[in-house]
Structure 1
């Protein structure tokens, strides 16, 4: 679990007090990796007190994080810092949080980020790292993985060294998220809950978190009585609990297929999950029914036909990426999942999209 959490509207103001005791010395900087949508937003950046050699690096979140990008960032930070940094602080959505986790790992581990895509491959503890989400739903702030697109696969660095040492949950930071992005990322959380709660890996620990997150998602996306501030706080808590649920169980079919879309087409994670989940009535009938109610209520139109013009080679790559995520399929369909989800069946599902 994340060992230290601060929650509350306006709690981002405590960032400097949180970091001060963690500074190793005047030559060991804090490195802030911040979504570049905040580049000209002094409302956020003015509250960060830079000292000594501390630096802010603004990073675009328009594309999914890549192993090569992690390696470049880690190398740049190592080469331009007088000493190993005191910590890495990620501020943004899932892309920035995953980058912060991955960079903090690669500063203390040899090789390339692609070498650590998988389960429990990290040898050395990461440096101190802090996550501050500015959009709710991915669960990246609490998860033990950092999902990266590598040269041959899209897969997380899953390890006990990946989770943040400190998280600050300030729902006020989510106030300017565009509606479509709010929905897609919120649905990532909703789909986490459905996949966890209906999976074969389910246990009482993950179930308790999943049920809390699912209830909060229903309140946020189906009820009308919540104020904007209440909805922001509840979705931030849903993201946390949904992330906790999959930490102790696993995701399922929508995520596996979304990884395939992302690797071949570059589809962003949240909208990719929505595109896939919209066609999974056979496997998640109740969840898809609820999803379509939420989609209709918020007037969301999903892209269609995105796989219709793919070549056989591209489709086969997509199938290879998705089917390679065996724990996700086993959680969804059981140990005999290969007899249920054949390449032909999976291809037919993709061609619906």
Structure 2
């Protein structure tokens, strides 16, 4: 679990005070920031208390995070400094938070990030790392995984060393997120909850967090009397609780299949989840019905014909990637899941997208 969290309007401005006790002499803090803020430095950069050799690196999130991207960032840091940084601070959405967790791990572990895609493969503690979300829903700020697309698969580095040492939750930072992005990322949280609460891995711990996050999502996305500031605070808390729920259970069918989309077509995670979940009435009838109401309520039109022009080889790869995520299928359908799901079943769903 994340050991320290600060929440509240304006909390971002406490960053200097928070990291000061962790600073190791002249060893820098490296800030990995979503490049969307590069042209609006007053919103983020001007508020960062840079000292000594501290460095800001703007990172593009046009594509899903890749193991090669992690390796490039680690090589850049190692070649620039002759000593380990004081810490890594990620500022952005789920992609930046995942990259930051992965970079922090790979600064103390040999090889490529691709070597650690899986469960509990990391041997050495990561360098100190801080997560500051600027969009809410993915739960990346609290989860023990960092989802990466590698040369052979899309799979997280799942480890007890992955979670952030400190998280700063400031609702002001998500105030101006574009509507579609706000919806798709918020739905990632909602889908987390549906998959967790309907899964065979469900336990009292995950259920308590999942139910709270689900209630918050219904309030945020189906009620129109919430003030924007209140809605932002609630979404930040929904994301936190949703992330905690899946940390102690697992996600399910929508996430497994969206990984296949992302690996082959590069579909962004939140969008991919929504495209797939919209077709999963068989597995999550109540959850999909509520999702459709939310979609209609906010006038969201999902992309269609996503898989219309894919080749048979691409379709095979999608299925292979999705079916390789065995814990997700076991959570969704139980230990005997292979008797219910195979490549032909998934191909029918993919072709309908």
TM-score (norm: length of structure 1): 0.99
* Cα-to-partner distance string for 1:150-202 (whole Å, 9 max, x where unaligned): 00000000000000000000010001110000000000000000000000000
What secondary structure does 2:44 align onto? helix
Task: Give distance in 2, aligned partners of 1:315 and 1:99.
Answer: 28
Please show how residues 61-100 of structure 1 align to structure 2 within 5 Å. Answer: 61-100=61-100
**Greater CA drift, 45-54 or 237-246:** 45-54
Q: Which residue of 2 aligns with 1:34?
A: 33
Give the drift of 1:61: 1.0
Give the drift of 1:211: 0.2
Q: Which residue of 2 aligns with 1:4?
A: 4
Task: Give distance in 2, aligned partners of 1:83 and 1:52.
Answer: 14
* Contact persistence 2:99–2:146 (CA under 8 A): yes
Q: Which residue of 2 aligns with 1:332?
A: 332
* Cα-to-partner distance string for 1:319-341 (whole Å, 9 max, x where unaligned): 00000000000000001111101
1:140 pairs with 2:102: no
Give the drift of 1:82: 3.3
* Cα-to-partner distance string for 1:280-315 (whole Å, 9 max, x where unaligned): 000000000000000000000001111111111000
Give the drift of 1:32: 0.0
**Greater CA drift, 302-311 or 187-196:** 302-311
* Contact persistence 2:323–2:342 (CA under 8 A): no
TM-score (norm: length of structure 2): 0.99
Please show how residues 100-179 of structure 1 align to structure 2 within 5 Å. Answer: 100-179=100-179
Q: Cα RMSD (Å) of the superposition?
A: 0.5
Task: Give distance in 2, aligned partners of 1:40 and 1:171.
Answer: 21
Give the drift of 1:43: 2.2
Task: Give distance in 2, aligned partners of 1:309 and 1:337.
Answer: 29
Give the drift of 1:142: 0.1
* Cα-to-partner distance string for 1:25-66 (whole Å, 9 max, x where unaligned): 11x100000001111221221110111110000011111000
1:341 pairs with 2:326: no
1:267 pairs with 2:267: yes
Q: Which residue of 2 aligns with 1:24?
A: 24
Q: Which residue of 2 aligns with 1:183?
A: 183
Task: Give distance in 1, aligned partners of 2:209 and 2:291.
Answer: 19
**Structure 2, unaligned stretches of length 5 or more?**
none
Task: Give distance in 1, aligned partners of 2:19 and 2:47.
Answer: 13
* Cα-to-partner distance string for 1:242-294 (whole Å, 9 max, x where unaligned): 00000000000000000000000000000000000000000000000000000
What secondary structure does 1:46 align onto? helix
Task: Give distance in 2, aligned partners of 1:310 and 1:57.
Answer: 36
Q: Which residue of 1 aligns with 2:218?
A: 218
Task: Give distance in 2, aligned partners of 1:139 and 1:184.
Answer: 13
Task: Give distance in 2, aligned partners of 1:44 and 1:345.
Answer: 46
Task: Give distance in 2, aligned partners of 1:352 and 1:198.
Answer: 24
1:56 pairs with 2:56: yes
**Structure 1, unaligned stretches of length 5 or more?**
none
What secondary structure does 1:43 align onto? coil
Q: Which residue of 2 aligns with 1:192?
A: 192
Task: Give distance in 1, aligned partners of 2:242 and 2:146.
Answer: 16
* Cα-to-partner distance string for 1:184-224 (whole Å, 9 max, x where unaligned): 00000000000000000000000000000000000000011
